[in-house]
Each structure stands twice: as structure tokens, then as C-alpha cells.
Structure 1
Amino acid sequence: MITTIITAAVVYVATSIDNLIILLVFFAHKKDNPTVMRIVGGKVLGTSVLIAVSLLSAFGLRVIPEQWILGLLGFVPLGLGLKVLFEQEGEESLEKIYFAANKKHGNLLVAMTIITIASGGDNLGVYIPLFAAISQAELVVTVLVFYMGVALLCYLGYRLAKLQQLGGTIEKYERIIVPVVFIGLGIMILVENGTIAEIIEILM
């Protein structure tokens, strides 16, 4: 069982550590408790979707769309980054468009969920064969370790964002950092999933 725990921990860290910068940006902008809970909730929901899809696929159900279709989710962080980039200066206007088009409370939760799914699309290629190769007991342990990994990753991102120097720098230069991070993430998702190439091929 120790081997299962170690394997699950290594797999989760290897496939999810790149999300730390995203969490750091989210947490640095908003540190009040309701918002923090939405960020964590979005991360949990997004991870749950990835795990559920991997489980269904491991048991032989075809639930994964073509890779390039999954990559369309990359337009979400890309769009959010562009909104921040082209919005007029001013904290009030930035508040209105940060992570969403309006002020609905669920937007941050939805944004974090979608970004987690979009950036974790390539994780399915690791999770599915892993889930298919282990016993039910090992599967339960692995999923529990994954959720513990989510909690630890969110905690690490939150603590780093609270560091005065790091969090203050992100808040000070958020009009540069946020667009760069989210536009970069969106482009990476679109390219890695072959979405851009597929769109070009369809248009041609």
C-alpha cells in the first residue's frame, strides 16, 4: 500500500505542479475567505471531472472527445487574459472583468474549474492507464492521495500568495502578470492539444 501511495503522490505532483502559478495568481488577487473557497472549490471540481473521466475511460467507456475538442477549453484562460490586457486602467474596472465578464459569485468557481480541466487534459493520458492497471483498493487510495494533493497544492499557493514580497509583487504588476500567465496558458493548451492545427485544417 505504501508503494501505491508513493506512486499516486508522484503522479499527482508530476501532472499538477504546473498549476501552482495559476493558483498563486488567483490567490494573490483575492485573499478573502469566500473567494478563497471558490478558488479551492473550482480546483476540486476540475480535478473531480478529470478523475471521473479517467475512471470511466479506464473501465472501457468512451467518454473522452477528440484531443483537439478538449483543447477548445484553452480559449477560456486566453479570453480572460485578453480581457485584463485590453481593459482600461483602474482598479474598479479590473475588478469587473477579473476572471469573468460580470460580477456573479459563481464566475470565479467556474473559471477555476474550467482552467483546471483545460490545463489537465494531458493528465488523462497518465491517469487512465494508471487507473486501469491497479486494483479497486489501490484505486481508492490513489484517488484519496490525489485529493490530498489538491489540498496541499491549494495551501501552498495560498501561503505563497500571502508572502508580502511575492504577493505584493503580483498585486503591483497584475496588469502585466495576469495577461501573460493566462494568455500563455491558453495558447499552450490550444497548441498541445492540436486545436490550432485542427482549426486551420478545417478552415483550409
Structure 2
Amino acid sequence: MDLGIIGQAVGLFAVTNIDDILILSLFFAQGAGRPGSTRRIVLGQYLGFAAILAVAVAAAFGATFLPESAVPYLGLLPLALGLKAAWQAWKDHHDGGGEDEEPAGEGGPGPWEVAAVTFANGGDNIGVYVPVFATAGVGGMGVYAVVFLVLVAVWCFAGKFFATRPVIAKALARWGHVLLPAVLIAIGLLILIEGGAFGL
């Protein structure tokens, strides 16, 4: 198995799911002391991420039917999402926004609640994964999928760990909105440049 593609998969998962650690931390904090809450949160995270992965893989199979010369221009999608996220972050900062809303629920979060939040929060992930998967081929896509699914478990453990360390969770909340747009823009530019789009 190509260690290079495994490393790329680890990096791609990490940078596109930084905000998920904060969300998972909030879920684990909400479910603290409630029997079975860890199992429900982990199940929900897997359901939500599996749906993200299924949509991205399906779209990437569609993208492979595009003319080869058109594939590098898929980099415009994460670039646009990154610019949109950067604009939203600037607007929120300018308007004095930044709410820290904890998910509601008396008995801790259920798996479908976690899955819904994970999937809804994964729109940007899909936009980034589709062009990467489309250029990776079927074998490469399989490696990405396996690495991602293993890392979902790591993310769940990290979320539970951070749930007991509010200082770290606050730091992620403070800087995640800056890092995510920067990474999306970088990925978009990388796909455009490596694919030779616009004669780059």
C-alpha cells in the first residue's frame, strides 16, 4: 500500500474535520455520566461520516466521466468554499458574532442527532473530497475511505478527551474558523495548479 497516499489521506481528514473535534467535545460533555452515551455518539458520528463519504464517492465516480482536461477545474469548488468560509468568518467577527450553542437534549445526544449534525457540517468536506477522489482513481479512493473510517474512531477518542479539557476546546473554537478557510483555499489552489488549470 502506498504510504504517500495514506499520509495524504490522514492530512486531508485532519484539516477538513478540525471543527468536528469541537462538536464531538460538546456532544461528549452533554452525554457525560449518561449510560451508553459514548456508544450513541460514536455510532452517530460513523453514520454521518459514512453518508458524507457515500455522497463524495458517488459524485467522484460521476466526475471521472468528465473530460480529463476538465477535472483540475474541480479545484474551483474547494477554493470557492474556502473563500465563502473566510467571508463568513470575517462577517461574524465584524458583526461581533460567535455563539457557543450546545446541542439540546435531556438524555444526551442520540445517534441520529449526532449523524444529522455530522452530515450537515460535512458540506464543505464533500466539496473538498470529490475532486480529490476523482483524481485518485478507484484504488486511491479505497485507501482514502479506509483511512478516513479508521480516523473517525480516533476523532471520537480525541473529542472525548477534549471534552474534559475546556481550555483546549476554547482554543479550537477560537482558531478553527481561521484555519478551515485557509486550508480549503490551499487545497483548491493545489488541485488547480497540479492539474495545470488555466495554464498554471
TM-score range, shorter chain: 0.5 to 0.7
Distance 1:86 1:23 in 2: 22
> What are the equivalent positions in structure 2 for 1:165-176 lying under 5 Å apart?
168-176=166-174
Distance change (3 Å), C-alpha of 1:69 and 1:26? same
**Superposition TM-score, scaled by structure 1 size:** 0.57
2:54 maps to what in 1? 48
Alpha-carbon distance change, 29 to 147 in structure 1, aligned in 2, over 3 angstroms: same
Query: Out of 145, 148, 153, which is 1:155 matched to?
Result: 153
Structure 2 match to 1:80: 85
Matched ranges for 1:47-196 at <5 A: 47-53=53-59, 55=61, 61-62=65-66, 65-87=70-92, 88-89=95-96, 93-95=99-101, 108-119=118-129, 121-128=131-138, 130=139, 143=142, 147-164=145-162, 168-194=166-192
Residue 167 of structure 1 and its aligned partner are, at CA, apart by 5.7
Q: Which amino acid aligns with 2:66?
A: R
In the alignment, residue 13 of structure 1 is paired with which amino acid? I
| C-alpha displacement of 1:36 | 6.5
Task: Identify if the C-alpha distance between structure 1 residues 28 and 16 changes in structure 2 by more than 3 Å, giving closer, same or farther.
Answer: same
Corresponding residue for residue 137 of structure 1:
none
Provide, for residues 56-106 of structure 1, a one-character-per-residue CA deviation record: whole Å limited to 9, x for no partner. 677xx4387542244323332443354344425566x3549xxxxxxxx95
Between 1 and 2, higher relative CO (CA 8 Å, sep ≥ 6) is seen in 2
Structure 2 gaps, min length 5 = 28-36, 103-114
Q: Which SS does the other structure have where 1:193 is aligned?
A: helix
Q: Could you tell me how far 1:187 is from its partner in structure 2?
A: 1.4
Tell me the distance in 1 between the aligned counterparts of 2:84 and 2:63: 30
* C-alpha contact (below 8 Å) 2:76/2:188 kept by paired residues: yes
Pick closer, same or farther for the CA change 1:146–1:122 going to 2, 3 Å: closer
Secondary structure of residue in 2 paired with 1:17? helix
The answer as to whether partners of 1:68 and 1:194 remain within 8 angstroms in 2 is yes
Displacement after TM superposition at 1:165 (Å) = 8.6
1:62 match: secondary structure: coil
How many residues get paired? 169
Q: Percent identity?
A: 9
Q: Distance in 2 between matches of 1:63 and 1:111?
A: 31
Q: CA deviation at 1:157?
A: 1.5
Contact 1:49 1:117 in 2 (8 A): no
Alignment RMSD: 4.3
Counterpart of 1:15?
A: 8
Report the Cα offset of residue 192 of structure 1. Answer: 1.4
TM-score if structure 2 supplies the norm length?
0.58
* Displacement after TM superposition at 1:127 (Å): 2.4
| Distance across 1 between alignment mates of 2:87 and 2:41 | 22
Rate the CA distance shift 1:57–1:116 in 2: closer, same or farther, 3 A. Answer: closer
Cα distance in 1 for partners of 2:164, 2:192 equals 34
